[in-house]
Amino acid sequence: MPVLRLEADSPERTQIGEGLVKFAVQAGRLETGREEGRYFLRHDDGCAVDGRRITSGDPLAFDTESGEIRCLDHVEEGTAADRSERA
């Protein structure tokens, strides 16, 4: 699946639908059991490239293959493996 663009609900997590649950589980980013909703994608570690914190309302990219979260400034950077190959 491709890199998905979402809008952050909070600095820690964004609510997702059932279609993204398996990708969030594979990435170790699924959070459940909250009053506000059923499934959430955790992104409290910020952008995988530079660690920039994602804040409420910020666009973000979720790479469904690598499990990385990136800010839109770095959405085209590729995965950590891709970045290390170019270094």
pLDDT band at 10 (very low <50, low <70, confident <90, very high): very high
CA–CA gap between residue 20 and residue 17 (Å, rounded): 6
Its pTM stands at: 0.85
pLDDT tens string 19-48: 999 999 999 999 998 888 999 999 999 999
pLDDT of residue 36: 85
48-70: average pLDDT: 95
Q: How far apart are CA 83 and CA 19, in angstroms?
A: 28
